[in-house]
Structure formats: structure tokens, C-alpha cells
Amino acid sequence: MVFENKNLKEKENIVYNFKSMNLMKEKNGIKKIQLYQYRYAFSTLYLSCNKTKILIVLSCRYFQNCFRVQCQDKIINIFYEDFITCVKGRNLFEYDNIFYTGLINGKLTEWEIIPSLDSNNKNKKKVIKCPYNFDIKERKHVYAHKESITAIEIYPKQKILITAGEDKFIYIRKTFDFELLSAIDLTYSFGNPIISQYLNIFPSMVKVSDLNLLFVMLYDYNTKKNFIRGYNLNGIFFAQTDQMLFEENAEINNFCFTKYGNLIITCYNSNKFYVFNAGILSPLWIKELEEKEEGKKEKKEKSKIPKEIGNKMVEFNCENGEFYILKEHEIIFTSINDKDKLKEFEPF
């Protein structure tokens, strides 16, 4: 995961040391669930305390049925009633102290980070004791799904919260009071009976574009492949990716959005990225990430993507045009440095 800090000029920064994390052990059948095996889930939010900007890292899927709230000088482990499958910072505005967790029993919970206050001062005004001294409070909860919650997404533009579950439903709610706005049955779509044949599916990722289109990445247990479906926020299905459009044995592992709302789809162990039309989910552009020159003094020495491809995840930041490539032991920052190819890419 890439943690963005606009105050830092360097391209690569070690924000926190996660060496203390041990891989989650298999227990109680969790190893049978494709999403949870040997994977942690992370999210972030920013707090403002005493005019100090604090990055909070949230993580879950720990063996002990807990989730972790971590900043530079403090770690809090919150133990809960069941295995925590998802965590998501709200980030509706610049500094937001609300986040959400999803449980394997379908429970959705809203939490608040509360800075500790000190009222024992001369002016009798409550002030924050220390920027890194805070507590965690449960605000409200709802049993949102009949089975495990597999993904949580916040859409700040309309202040809605979206959850996906192993019950093969997606629910769209208001962030304010969890009022249910719409529900999407992933195994059914009017006028498209083919979708109903995909019963053995697992929703692992949900994202919403600025065009108010919802996309969900699904894992098919039968074919052992990921694919992506598109819906509007009323739950009407409009498109699905075709595996034949990708290279043989390509496994989709992430998707993100271009400046104009189309999809960038990437695959495991591949330098190729696919730009798909958001309306019909068909490819518009297929290119490979290339080497990037670093500076005048280093023009001869280029930061190259290794020939031995081992990409775990590729993410695109449409604000600065950079690709973030997560490998086994490092994060590589790169972009399209060919001017002609960059011009070709920008209209998407």
C-alpha cells in the first residue's frame, strides 16, 4: 500500500515499519476463503490535533480477532467479537476521525478516534494532551449482511457507504445513519440470464467512479479467475469484462480510474495495463509500463522495472499521472515518459 504525504518531497518514504507483523495463521476454516488467506487489509485517515497533521494507519485480519489503529508513536489493538475482515477510513473531508470495520458475521461498525483532553489548566479550557494520545469509541453498528463482509467503500461525493458480502449482495447506505438506499444481487440481472449462472462468486473489491458508476471485482471459484462488473448506483447492471480480452493466464488483481472515469485494469506479474471503456468494459488501450529517467545527472542510469516481473499490485494516481508498482520487497514509482504515448494516454 502506498501512503501519500504531500509534505514530503522525496518520491520514496518509509512511513511506518511493519516488520512486527506476522502472517496470519490459518484457523477455523479461514484458509478456505480466498480473500483472507495470508493477507492483511489496510486503510488510512488523517487527524488534526493541535495543528498537527497525523496519519493514522488502520489494519485488520489478525489472528486474534482484532484490528489495529497505528500512528507514528502509538499502536492500539482493538479486540472484537469476531474476525475482522475489512477496515476503511471515511475521509469525507480533509481531517476525518471516523472509520468502519466489517466482520465475518456480517456486522458493520462505525468507530471514532477521540483525542484525549486535559481540562486541568489555568484557563479551564479543554486542550489536547498529546497529538498521539487518543481513544477509540464505537458509535453505531448494523448487521449489514447475512454472511461475511468482504469489501467496504466510501463514496464522498454522495456521502454513501457501500459494502459487499459473501451472501453475494452489495448494499448502498447513507454514511449518516446507515439507511439502506439500494441493494444489488450479484447473481441476478434483469434481461441478462447469463449472470445468474455465476453462483459461486466472491466480491473482493468495490469502487465508484466520478461518473457515479459502481464497479465490483468478483472471483469465480469455478474458473479461479477474477472479472469486473459494472452497475449504476440504482443497481442496474450494464457491463462485464470478458476474460478473452486479456492475455492467456492473466489474473486481474486491481482496477482504478483514469482522469475521465475509464478503468485501468492490471494483472498479477505483468507490466501491461489495460484501459477499458467504463460504459461497455471493452479495451481502449493496452500498453506496458516502461523505464523512467530520473534526472540530468542520471540520464544514463535509469530506474528500470526488473526483467523478472513480480508485480503484486499496480495502482494509478490520476492526479499526478504516476503508477505505483508493489513488488515483494519494494514499491516502484514510474510513469509514461514517452511524450507521444503520454499524449495518446491523456484523453482517456
Check pLDDT > 50 for residue 70: yes
CA dist 113 → 20, 94, 133, 135, 175 (Å): 23, 15, 10, 6, 16
Per residue in 249-306, pLDDT tens? Answer: 788 889 999 988 999 998 888 888 899 999 999 999 888 876 454 443 343 344 444 4
Model pTM greater than 0.95? no
**Residue-level pLDDT at 213:** 95
**How far is 211 from 29, CA to CA, in rounded Å?**
39
| pLDDT at 207 exceeding the cut of 70 | yes
- Which of left, alpha, beta for 321 (phi over 0: left; psi -120 to 50: alpha)? left
The answer as to whether 160 is a domain residue is no
In the chain, the percentage of residues whose pLDDT exceeds 90 is 36
Q: 325: which residues sit within 8 A by CB, 6+ positions away?
A: 289, 305, 311, 313, 314, 331, 332, 333, 334
CB burial readout 61-83, b (16+ within 10 A) else e: bbeebbbbbbbeeeeeeeebeeb
How many folded domains does the chain comprise? 1
Q: Is residue 81 assigned to a domain?
A: no
**pLDDT of the residue at 269:** 81
Tell which wins on pLDDT, 48 or 246: 246
At 306 the pLDDT is: 44
| Residue at 123 is within a domain | no
Q: Which one, of 249, 273, 268, 267, lies nearest residue 321 by Cα?
A: 273
Q: How far is residue 115's CA from residue 178's CA, in Å, rounded to a whole number?
A: 25
pLDDT tier, 40 (very low <50, low <70, confident <90, very high otherwise): confident
Structural domain contains residue 344: yes
pLDDT at 315 over 80: yes
Domain boundaries, position 328: 258-348
Q: Does 337 reside within a domain?
A: yes
| Structural domain contains residue 265 | yes
pLDDT: is 269 or 99 the higher one?
99
